[in-house]
Amino acid sequence: MHDTTKPGGISLLTDPIRNRGTGFTQDERARFGLEGLLPTAVEDLPTQVERVMGHLAAKPTDLEQYIYLQDLCDRNETLFYAVLMSDPARFVPIVYDPTIADACLTYGQIYRRPQGMYLNKEMKGRLAEVLRHWPTRDIRFICVSSGGRILGLGDIGQNGAPIPIGKLQLYTACAAVPPDGLLPIHFDIGTTNATLRADPLYTGLRDEPPSDDDLDALVDEFMEAANEVFPGVCVHFEDWKGTDAIRLLARYKDKYLVLNDDIQGTASVTIAGLITALQIKNEKLADQKIMFAGAGSAGIGIANMIVEAMQDEGLSEDDARSRIAMFDVKGLLDSKRGDLSPSQKVYAKDLPATKDLAEAVKSFKPTTLIGVSTTQGLFTEDVVKGVAANTDRPIIFPLSNPTNKAECTPDQAYSWTGGKALFAAGVQFPDVTYDGKTYHPGQANNFYIFPAFGLAIFATRPERIDDKMWIAAARGSADQVDQAARDKGMLFPPQSNILETEVTTAVRTAEHIFDRGLATVDRPDDIRAWLKGMTYTPSY
């Protein structure tokens, strides 16, 4: 329950943390100087939620619903989370992907008021001082983005500010991580997007980004400052340019408590889908051959975590890497290419060079195809049938989002494979009926993993995060898909009771952290009860 002993009056009604609106009782209205400032009726939270639902129903577009909900969060945070947590499956697509893509594209037009913090490169040398402007010190998670690679939108600079806000809102909406310990930050390093720099309503710096060395020095200061001002904080990097994302995660993962959901969360949820698909096939991950379309930070992150999971099944690192091939805008990553980064070179193959994905599939003979290319339609009929030629149940994961970036649709995957494909996309497609059978396409959405992972980190307070923790979270999610769901082609748990699903995944992750002796708190007798005791419930 929020502290209502502080001064009241108009200041109380404009404080989103303490404000209850019509939920203040008559006694509270008298005590806090609210008489005459509110309508007469005293309403409970469910009644307020009902009114909000009516407001939302009158909004003509998802973007308008998004704007309304963010305004609600600025007025009454408790009511905002009561709405989101009443039906997360409905509201996740509104406050995050895919609607948040429209919010980012129009951020300069829809901006109302600040949310979280806004740092920029011109604050270098003063970042700790600026961070101290935040009113509370018990911050457990910072989600920070540069806007350098937002969804499939590319570099949109300050227009990416809604991303860390929405990401942390899902920590609470899906896994009940207490919101008062969450701080979204947009770190404005400039943008390569000349169109935005020329937009009179653009809210960010109108500069090009710094060099890698200058950026590293800037983020070094930020990481030191964040840990100084908010001791024990976990920094969640989100939607940085791919090369920056890979480099910064490697730079800090052994020194600070950090995670990158684009790399590790995407990898974890992909592995969760693979685990379920392979349970359906009754096969091991170590026996698969996997082709990636896309070799950026997401593809590399997924591949690296799959390698670690294959090693858990007995393969050597080299053997595991040999079972993964990659294809990017310049074609197959073959050993003769001279333009590969160090993280890409380990997946280069001694195969004929080709810029044709269907030819690469025919040459490598994968059983699984994963798309992180942001190229709509890249998985053609020839490509999918080429994978199906190598296995009875091809695994087809076109993970790019939003919807107009998906490499293929479930209708295509099912029809081209005679209903045999095990399918998951990065967005939720509607059910598909093929040959008299209805399939429920999977959605490999990170919200199945990162909120639960956040809850486990929040509770266990490890000093560092590694990929084995993410693999444990993937297994925790996959094990919640029952046989009836698998029969419908579902590779992830249903979204209807996402909070309990996330808590279960968090329990599995916390158990793993305790088993490895990585927690900095004592292990409780009942981890589930202990975790649930820390979760947030919106109430007055």
Provide the residue ranges of all domains of the chain, joining segments of one domain with +. 10-77, 94-256, 264-447
Residue 42 has pLDDT above 70, yes or no: yes
Based on the residue annotation, tell me whether 167 is a catalytic residue of this protein.
Answer: yes
pLDDT, tens digit, for every residue of 285-306? 999 999 999 998 889 999 999 9
262 or 397, which is more confident: 397
Q: What CATH number does domain 94-256 carry, 3.40.50.10420, 3.40.1350.10, 3.40.50.10380, 3.40.190.10?
A: 3.40.50.10380
Q: Which helix (H) or strand (E) holds 507?
A: helix 498-515
Distances (CA, A) of 41 to 6, 300, 540: 23, 56, 16
Q: Do domains 94-256 and 264-447 have the same CATH topology?
A: yes
The C-alpha atoms of residue 495 and residue 530 are separated, in whole angstroms, by 24
Q: What amino acid occupies position 157?
A: G
Residue 211 has pLDDT above 60, yes or no: yes
Bridge-partner residues for 160, per DSSP? Answer: none
pLDDT on residue 1: 42
Q: Determine contact, residues 384/421, Cβ cutoff 8 Å.
A: yes
Q: Which of 96, 171, 414, 536 is catalytic?
A: 96
The C-alpha atoms of residue 163 and residue 185 are separated, in whole angstroms, by 9
Residue 30 has pLDDT above 50, yes or no: yes
Q: Mean pLDDT over residues 416-440, rounded?
A: 93
pLDDT on residue 488: 80
What is the sign, positive or negative, of the torsion defined by CA atoms of 517, 523, 526, 532?
Answer: negative
Q: Which of 167, 252, 414, 439 is catalytic?
A: 167
Tokens of residue 493, six digits: 């748990």
pLDDT, tens digit, for every residue of 318-340? 999 999 999 999 999 999 999 99
Q: Determine contact, residues 93/169, Cβ cutoff 8 Å.
A: no
Residue 7 has pLDDT above 80, yes or no: no
pLDDT on residue 6: 58
Going by the DSSP 8-state scheme, the letter that residue 332 receives in this structure is: E
- Dihedral angle, C-alpha 33, 37, 41, 44, nearest 10 °: -70
Q: At what angle do helices 297-312 and 242-252 cross, to 10 degrees?
A: 50
- Distance between terminal CA atoms of the chain? 6
Q: What amino acid occupies position 352?
A: P
- For residue 5, what pLDDT band results from cuts at 50, 70 and 90? low
The number of angstroms, rounded, from the C-alpha of 533 to the middle of its chain's C-alpha atoms is 24
What mean pLDDT, rounded, does the chain reach? 95
Q: Is the peptide bond before 16 cis (omega within 30 degrees of 0)?
A: no
DSSP conformation letters of 69-129? HHHHHHH-HHHHHHHHHH-HHHHHHHHSTTHHHHHHHTHHHH--S--SEEEEGGGTT-HHH
**Range with the lowest mean pLDDT among 68-77, 230-239, 423-432?**
423-432
pLDDT, tens digit, for every residue of 135-157? 999 999 999 999 998 877 889 99
Alpha helices in 14-87 (DSSP H): 26-31, 45-57, 62-75, 77-86
The C-alpha atoms of residue 503 and residue 501 are separated, in whole angstroms, by 6
List the one residue out of 57, 82, 70 whose CA is nearest residue 106: 70
The C-alpha atoms of residue 443 and residue 225 are separated, in whole angstroms, by 37
Instruction: Give all strands of the β-sheet with 182-188 in edge-to-edge order.
Output: 117-120, 182-188, 141-145, 234-237, 258-260
Q: Determine contact, residues 49/33, Cβ cutoff 8 Å.
A: no
54 phi, psi to nearest 5 deg: -65, -40
Tokens of residue 18, six digits: 């303490």
Based on the residue annotation, tell me whether 540 is a catalytic residue of this protein.
Answer: no
Classify domain 264-447 at the CATH superfamily level.
NAD(P)-binding Rossmann-like Domain (3.40.50.720)
- For residue 513, what pLDDT band results from cuts at 50, 70 and 90? very high
Tokens of residue 391, six digits: 């296995």
pLDDT on residue 97: 82
pTM for this predicted structure: 0.92
Overall fold of domain 10-77: Hemocyanin, N-terminal domain (1.20.1370)
pLDDT, tens digit, for every residue of 357-388? 999 999 999 999 999 998 999 999 999 999 99
pLDDT on residue 264: 95
Residue 441, C-beta contacts closer than 8 angstroms, at least 6 positions apart: 410, 423, 424, 425, 428, 429, 430, 431, 432, 489
**Range with the lowest mean pLDDT among 86-100, 165-179, 312-326, 510-524?**
86-100
pLDDT on residue 243: 86
Q: What amino acid occupies position 64?
A: E
**Range with the lowest mean pLDDT among 62-76, 238-252, 348-362?**
238-252
Residue 273 has pLDDT above 90, yes or no: yes
